[in-house]
Structure 1
Amino acid sequence: MMIECGFIGLGNIGKPMAKNLARKAVQSKLSLRVYDVMPAPMAELEALGAKPVDSPEEIARHCELVGICVRHDQDVEDLLYGSGASAGIFELAPKGAVYAIHSTVNRDNMRRWGREAAERGLHVVDAPITGGEAKAEAGDLCIMLGADEVLSERLQPMLACMSTSVVAAGAVGDGTVLKLANNLMNYIAFVAASEGMGLVKNAGVNPEKLLEVVEANGVMGPLARQFVTGRDGMHAACSVEDMEAIFGPFANLAEKDLDHALALAGQLKLNLPCGKTARDGIRQTFLHPIVPANQ
């Protein structure tokens, strides 16, 4: 018997995740419905055998396993509780349905959604991902799963289509903690890479030599290197407006993720000075490399 599953949110990461799910659905005994506010990605998924639907409500009514990959906490909130004239998942979903939140969200919200789902006979778990667009395309993501063993087992056919590593984080909310820590470290690394490259350039040394050094000693990870070299290449060819259009949305997400991490640190009475510095400078890091004054 086929398992009815759904996927909501077909953006930069969600679309390749859903594509891998569609490609492997039949062999995994899954039947896939997909939804996004934009028609183009749904057409791509339809070409791979998925069924596009007109609203999230249709997924809520028919699917027992659902992945959600949207941008913000409020997007998840609207899907679960409804918005305007739209009914929410909590109102429509069949008892026992499982919703895996792939978005990077606030831990308190994640725990609340889990509790309130349980009160309705449903399951909401956190399943944030790491690996970026390239690994999403390859089906090589790492998923940090906040769920008990029973729900983890139920989700396995779906998650296996999109990932090669599922880390059992613990209870609902614990996957989110891992994701916030991961992103905190990643954005601090971006700031450090940007400042290191800026120091070398302003001292009149060829920045390619720094890349040789960090290649040899491993100080700069591949994501930070990809970020800083890609950004610098775009900056050389783009106007200020172009940089804002290209990198502004990524800066917005970085600020959101760092805000969540620092809010959690505040609840735990932890001081994260590097995290605070990264939050203060992350937009500058995305949009404006540190270049010599004569450039």
Structure 2
Amino acid sequence: MRPAFSVVFLTTLCGAAQGLLLALVAVQCLAAADSVPAPAAAFYTAGSAASVVLGALGLLASFFHLGHPERAWRAVAMWRTSWLSRECLALPAFLALTFFYGCAHMLAWPPAAALALGLLAVLAAAALFVCTSMIYACLRFLQEWASPLTMVNFVLLGCASGFTLATLAAACFAPGLVGLLAACACVLTAAGLLSRLASLGRNARLHPKSTLQSATGIRSDNIRQVSRGFTASAFNTREFFHGQTPAALKTAKYGFLLAAFVVPFVLLALGWSWSQAHAAGAMPGLVGLLVVAFLIQYAGLVAERWFFFTEARHPQNLYYQRAA
């Protein structure tokens, strides 16, 4: 498939926003149970603001994928049957609830009320994860996407980047939580790597269900396509094939494995050890380290999502293979 960068940015930005919100609410639940020190309200306020900004940027990016943006409101009309329509409902609900969750902390609402809003936002985030991933997982003719691993990867990668960003927020506003959040981000990043490797291994073993013989009804083994039927490009050749060389795909695959998983894991582990060594004092340089970790991880996730689209082999390319 041909990657659409508007969708790449939509899914990666919103995933990080959802993961960040989940981290904030998890910290508040632990603080309510006296398992961790209660952080300052600025931690929740800044984190919620960052989550809303990331989600809003993702929503803005999605408009560049529309042929007629002025008709975007019609996308919700098919919510009974379309995962895309459900996503269009879940994303604004998530943004609104996250905004009010941040406001509840900024205005010093009772902790129970703020936590209730946070839990509602978590439900909206979970619904958004399901809707976004099912847009692709429900397409059975694209074997690379039609797998439970699609949803698992969307959730784990979003949570990994969100917890990395939450660790950065903790370094700025709640230093006592850096170690815990860095450890969680490391676990999620490692889990994301394992699930992505599993999907890569699965997809490498797939075989097309259609062949030239089944498409044409000719049973001979000696069939060779010499033309795609026309000389100029068309919608089918532009939208359903990425046009990249195998070498470019291989470079992108190893690049995103390093940038999205390996390098952030190392940097987060350094941040965790740094927080343990300076538990009683200031941690100079930690914020910069975590900024670098998040930026590298996000760049890697953009490459991962780009590869996610290029990896899918549309059955129509069996006929239009000459377009390559």
- Could you state the TM-score of these two structures normalised by the residue count of structure 1? 0.31
- Name the structure with the higher strand share: 1
Higher RCO structure (Cα 8 Å, ≥6 apart): 2
- Could you state the TM-score of these two structures normalised by the residue count of structure 2? 0.29
Greater C-alpha Rg: 2
- Name the structure with the higher helix share: 2
